[in-house]
Amino acid sequence: MTVLVTGGAGYIGSITTRLLVERGFGVVVLDSLELGHRAAVNDVPLVVGNIADSDLVTRVCREHKVSDVVHFAAYKAVGESMQNPTKYFDNNVAGTHSLIAAVVSAGVENVVFSSTAAIYGDPDIVPVTEDAEVRCESVYAATKRMTEQILEWYSATRNLRSVSLRYFNAAGAASDGTLGEDWRYSQNLVPHVMKALLGFAPALKVFGNDYSTPDGTGIRDYIHVEDLAESHVAALQYLRGGGDTMICNVGTGVGTSVMDIISTTERVTGRAVPYDIAPRRAGDPARYFANASKAERVLGWTSRRLLDDIIASAFAWHSAHPHGHAASQA
């Protein structure tokens, strides 16, 4: 029994792949290497190719006796998805559908899917539960919701069960400092804080300090990427144990503002974060964070790491790898 990890050479995918191997799962990675890095996969079997290549996926499933899929491979830049929707619908929806159809035909019964809390848009009530209204405000979020629906329909019609994990804000790096995010491909807060802190950008732009939050800056639920990785293992075990198709939030339940991130970074690293207050970023909600009780109840998963761990691991990773994995390949 082997787990096929698509996008296993990317940020969250590589950290989850390593955890799966550590936990004794057989793993094969499928990654186009367009945004992922060979160095992030180490000695795990890597097939370089596209999720939409049905013949390739079928062959990989047969040759590696694939029983489960953990599906990360997707584009994730919200702004880009609005400028180039075709790219996002093609890859994230059509490509994912090809993948699902091929793996179902090959006898795969379990899929763990990377969904997103962006599906909730600007929720009326926080902490947000899984039954909150779906309010996609970007093509990116819509592609994730469409995939959840495709998976639900395959459950209704074929022998496939799935867990769609709605991630809140993934952040931090592997605690040994060897795997992390490449800030060149990220629009997210923590990599940008580190870029400014380490002198690779003049200053962090704080997108708005006039929100209706205690300090005026946006509030999010930052989840350590290693905790996030553990939720995939828990979801896989749940499915292998016969669990039904479901959707599940993966967050900490704690709301943290941009100013909290800056002050925590300054305390943990002992360095000042240069920042400027900038206008709000279009489409940014004031605040959301997870009600993560379903993950605890159904998967037996809770986040264990703290914001300090997120910042310390991100600092260690970015200090040593300012050019992402390119540095470790050089």
Catalytic residue IDs: 140
7: phi then psi, degrees, rounded to nearest 5: 70, 25
Q: Provide the minimum distance between the beta carbon of 272 and ligand UD1 in the complex, in angstroms, as a whole number.
A: 17
| Residue with the CB atom nearest ligand UD1 in the bound state | 218
From residue 17, alpha-carbon distances to 7, 45, 71, 167, 225 in Å are 10, 11, 11, 17, 12
Q: Kindly report the number of other CB atoms within 10 A of residue 210's CB atom.
A: 11
Q: Provide the minimum distance between the beta carbon of 96 and ligand UD1 in the complex, in angstroms, as a whole number.
A: 16
Query: Using CA of residue 18, residue 22, residue 23, residue 27, what is the dihedral sign?
Result: positive
By C-alpha distance, which of 170, 166, 198 is closest to 186? 170
Q: Provide the minimum distance between the beta carbon of 136 and ligand UD1 in the complex, in angstroms, as a whole number.
A: 9
By C-alpha distance, which of 201, 97, 92, 179 is closest to 142? 92
Nearer to ligand UD1, 59 or 87 (CB): 87
Nearer to ligand UD1, 154 or 315 (CB): 315
Which residues of this protein are in contact with ligand UD1, per CB under 6 A?
76, 78, 116, 118, 140-141, 169, 187-189, 192, 204-207, 218, 220, 258, 281, 283-284
Nearer to ligand UD1, 164 or 169 (CB): 169
Nearer to ligand UD1, 239 or 312 (CB): 312
Residue 275 C-beta-side C-alpha neighbours within 13 Å: 25
By C-alpha distance, which of 92, 232, 88 is closest to 149? 92
By C-alpha distance, which of 226, 202, 205, 218 is closest to 317? 226
Nearer to ligand UD1, 145 or 305 (CB): 145
Tell me which H or E stretch contains 183: none
Q: Provide the minimum distance between the beta carbon of 12 and ligand UD1 in the complex, in angstroms, as a whole number.
A: 10
Q: Provide the minimum distance between the beta carbon of 106 and ligand UD1 in the complex, in angstroms, as a whole number.
A: 30
Structure tokens at 193: 């804080």
Do 48 and 31 contact (CB within 8 A), yes or no? Answer: yes
